[in-house]
Amino acid sequence: MTSEQRKLARHALGLPNKLNTSYRNHYCIGRGGDGYEEWEAMVAAGEAVRRTGPHWGGDDMFHLTLKGGLAARDAKEHLSREETQLMRSLEI
C-alpha cells in the first residue's frame, strides 16, 4: 500500500481519532476523482472492494478488506469489532 493509498484508507476508517479505533469503512468517489486510481489499485491488490449502483449518485463505494484495514492502521490503532466482521465478509 502506497502512502497515498494508506492516507485514503485511513480516512475511510475514520482514523485518526481519540479512541484509536476505526468506526466506519467506506469511501465514495466517482471515476476521474482525485484518488480513484489509488482505490482501483487497492482493489487489484485485494485490499479493497468496489461497489457500484444508483445509491451513490453514479459514484462508486469502496470498502477495505481485512488485509487493507490492517495495512492502513498504525501500531496502536485498532479495527472495530463490527468493521472487522464486515472486512472478513469481503475477503475473496
Say what the pLDDT of residue 90 is.
Answer: 85
Contacting residues for 80 by C-beta, under 8 A, at least 6 apart:
21, 22, 23
Separation of alpha carbons 88 and 67, rounded Å: 9
Say what the pLDDT of residue 54 is.
Answer: 80
User: What does the longest C-alpha to C-alpha distance in the chain come to?
Assistant: 37
Q: Give me the domains of the chain, ranges plus CATH numbers.
A: 3-90 (1.10.10)
pLDDT in tens, 51-66: 998 887 889 999 999 9
Say what the pLDDT of residue 42 is.
Answer: 98
Grouping H, G, I as helix, E, B as strand and the rest as coil, residue 64 is strand
pLDDT in tens, 4-22: 999 999 999 999 999 999 9
User: Is residue 71 predicted with pLDDT exceeding 90?
Assistant: yes
CA-atom Rg of the chain in angstroms: 12
- For the record, the C-alpha cell of 8 comes out as 485514503
User: Is residue 73 predicted with pLDDT exceeding 80?
Assistant: yes
Q: Which residue has the cell 482505490?
A: 39
Separation of alpha carbons 28 and 56, rounded Å: 7
